């Protein structure tokens, strides 16, 4: 199933090099990546000109006490797709490391 994540554009070169890494957050006990189950929900976090939407295939995700979806594992850059001009493309084909 696809998981969707919105990130700042300035982080894309690092994600293309190292993958999407879990990070600390006060609502989870261990580093996590917050995701949404569909692009419409993830789209609520988009900021024009500042963010990009990513997606990646996962077996599933966990849910926090607040009902948010999280993944605790690193997502390799070769598994990440980015939405550009309304189309999904492999991240490594569109972002310079």
Q: What is the pLDDT of residues 79-95, one digit of tens each?
A: 999 999 889 999 999 98
CATH class given for the domain over 2-94: alpha beta
Distances (CA, A) of 78 to 17, 54, 86: 10, 12, 20
Whole-model pTM: value is 0.92
Q: What is the pLDDT of residues 27-61, one digit of tens each?
A: 888 999 999 999 999 999 999 999 999 999 999 99
Q: Could you state, in order of their start, the residue ranges of all structural domains in the chain?
A: 2-94
Residue 93's SS3 state is: helix
């Amino acid at each position: 199933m696809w998981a969707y994540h919105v990130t700042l554009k300035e982080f894309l070169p690092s994600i293309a090099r190292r993958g999407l890494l879990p990070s600390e957050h006060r609502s989870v006990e261990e580093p996590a990546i917050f995701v949404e189950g569909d692009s419409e929900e993830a789209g609520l976090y988009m900021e024009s000109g500042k963010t990009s939407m990513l997606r990646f295939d996962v077996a599933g995700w966990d849910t926090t006490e607040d009902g948010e979806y999280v993944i605790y594992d690193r997502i390799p850059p070769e598994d990440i797709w980015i939405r550009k001009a309304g189309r999904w493309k492999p991240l490594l084909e569109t972002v310079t490391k």
